[in-house]
Amino acid sequence: MRWLDAALRAITPWGWALLAVVALGVFLARSLGWAEALVSAVAAATLLVGAIPWIVGERWARARIGLSAERVPVGADALALIEVSRPTRAATPRQIDLDIGDEEAVLEIPSLGVGGKVLRSVPLDTSRRGLRTIGPATIMRTDPFGVLERRHRLTETRTLVVHPRVVRLPGGAGGIVRDLEGEAAAERTADDVSFHSLREYAPGDDRRLVHWRSSARHGSLLVRQFEPSRRADTLIVLSTDPREYDGDDFELALSIVGTLGLAAIADRRSLRIVESPRAERGPVRPIDAATRDRLLDALAVLEPRGGVGIAAAARASRSTARGSVAWLITGSTVPPRELRTAANGMPEGVVSVVVRAAVGAVPTRARLGDADVATVGAIEDLSRGIGDAGRA
């Protein structure tokens, strides 16, 4: 029975002592006829009953909780805002307790007139990415003698999402191979927008491609052929194997993923982001990158977990590499052999760029066999670190 459980939880140790006095006094008065014991029992019962009005009711105070921003990057300022009002003539509490994760903030409330309001703010910790649960705001209601007490919930909870830090890259940096105005592939096709040359007609060619004026001058049918333009679709593969990261490398890796992903979204490129599969031959796990907020929200709660490293993740994502560039993001402890295997795991025609997140390292770019390997020591160095890596 919920009401009984709530009633029992409202009794303080002092209240339980008074209940014991009531029970013992009644027992002694009935068994031994002690009038003093009966007086003590009545006095204790009076204190218990008199404490009830102090903790019942719901109108002592009203409160609303809000956030200065629901999503902030790591290190940004964020505040929890609490508005407290006095709806009736009943005395308002002198303090309100606000749960902030595993901690509790105590807010002092001044005396308010009926209908009066006061706004209080509490700075929030944004030093690490993740979710911060703010609230509920509660008040402790008790009687003057501390016989009964009741924690009254004034608000619901709110959630602050702390995103990994991202920076803005120059236009096109997230895709490397540009679209129609960009680079053309080496192969030839009969259907595209970039004209390349004429060739002899072959059986089966579309007659709409015949260049009649040149055919008349040449004396035989000539058809047009084109250079196919490759869409700068982007695939980002993130290793979530904790063995590949040292210190805060994984936090930097998430910032790199967010920065590259937002660059692709800003350039309106097709984007797919995946993380390591759980098993060697398992499927990669997609990360929601449909919008900016959904991508950063997903990265805010992503943690290293058991699974395979970047080489196996690249191999598992091979079937999804339909674009022109694949960014392979890993940590600082991966040996060169694994990096080379990862870069070689992509299909032919897909430019692979391995990015090592190594906090504090000097940004460098190097060739490892046929692979471009960029080392980034801070998210601000990403643009310099990747430079022209992987450009076809």
Q: From CA 270, how far away is CA 174, in angstroms rounded?
A: 11
Of 380, 346, 171, 351, the closest CA to residue 269 belongs to 171
Q: Kindly tell me if the per-residue pLDDT of 186 is higher than 80.
A: no
- Cis amide bond preceding 87, omega within 30: no
Q: What is the pLDDT of residue 171?
A: 60
Q: What is the pLDDT of residue 355?
A: 94
Which tens digit of pLDDT belongs to each residue from 5-20? 767 778 888 889 999 9
CB 149 within 8 A of CB 12: yes
pLDDT band per the 50, 70, 90 thresholds, residue 189: very low
Q: What is the pLDDT of residue 228?
A: 52
Find the mean pLDDT for residues 235-263. 95
Which of 177-191, 213-227, 287-301, 330-344 is the least confident region?
A: 177-191
Q: From CA 118, how far away is CA 95, in angstroms rounded?
A: 12
Angle 249-266/292-300 helices, nearest 10 degrees? 170
Find the mean pLDDT for residues 84-94. 79
Q: Kindly tell me if the per-residue pLDDT of 246 is higher than 70.
A: yes
Q: Kindly tell me if the per-residue pLDDT of 207 is higher than 80.
A: no
The residue that leads in pLDDT, 369 or 33, is: 33
Share of the chain above pLDDT 90, in %: 40
CB 84 within 8 A of CB 63: yes
Find the mean pLDDT for residues 98-124. 90
CB 309 within 8 A of CB 331: no
Q: From CA 12, how far away is CA 18, in angstroms rounded?
A: 10
Find the mean pLDDT for residues 269-275. 90
- b/e map 240-251, b = 16+ CB within 10 Å: bbbebbeeebbb
Q: Kindly tell me if the per-residue pLDDT of 164 is higher than 90.
A: yes
The residue that leads in pLDDT, 257 or 211, is: 257
Q: Kindly tell me if the per-residue pLDDT of 87 is higher than 70.
A: yes
pLDDT band per the 50, 70, 90 thresholds, residue 231: low
Top-confidence range, 136-150, 192-206, 233-247 = 233-247
Find the mean pLDDT for residues 196-218. 79
Share of the chain above pLDDT 70, in %: 86
CB 262 within 8 A of CB 164: no
Q: From CA 329, how far away is CA 343, in angstroms rounded?
A: 11
Q: From CA 316, how far away is CA 6, in angstroms rounded?
A: 54
Q: From CA 371, how far away is CA 364, in angstroms rounded?
A: 14
Is pTM beyond 0.85? Reply is no
Q: Kindly tell me if the per-residue pLDDT of 85 is higher than 50.
A: yes
Find the mean pLDDT for residues 344-366. 88
CB 257 within 8 A of CB 299: yes
Q: What is the pLDDT of residue 80?
A: 95
Q: What is the pLDDT of residue 57?
A: 66
DSSP-derived secondary structure letter, 180: T
Top-confidence range, 250-259, 339-348, 369-378 = 250-259
pLDDT band per the 50, 70, 90 thresholds, residue 175: very low
Q: Kindly tell me if the per-residue pLDDT of 283 is higher than 90.
A: no
Find the mean pLDDT for residues 206-230. 75
Average pLDDT, the chain: 83
Greatest distance between any 2 Cα atoms in the chain: 134
CB 272 within 8 A of CB 258: no
Q: From CA 10, how far away is CA 8, in angstroms rounded?
A: 5
The residue that leads in pLDDT, 39 or 160, is: 160
Q: From CA 78, how far away is CA 67, in angstroms rounded?
A: 7
Q: From CA 259, how far away is CA 382, in angstroms rounded?
A: 9
Q: What is the pLDDT of residue 5?
A: 74
Q: How, if at all, do strands 234-238 and 271-275 pair?
A: parallel
Q: Kindly tell me if the per-residue pLDDT of 77 is higher than 60.
A: yes
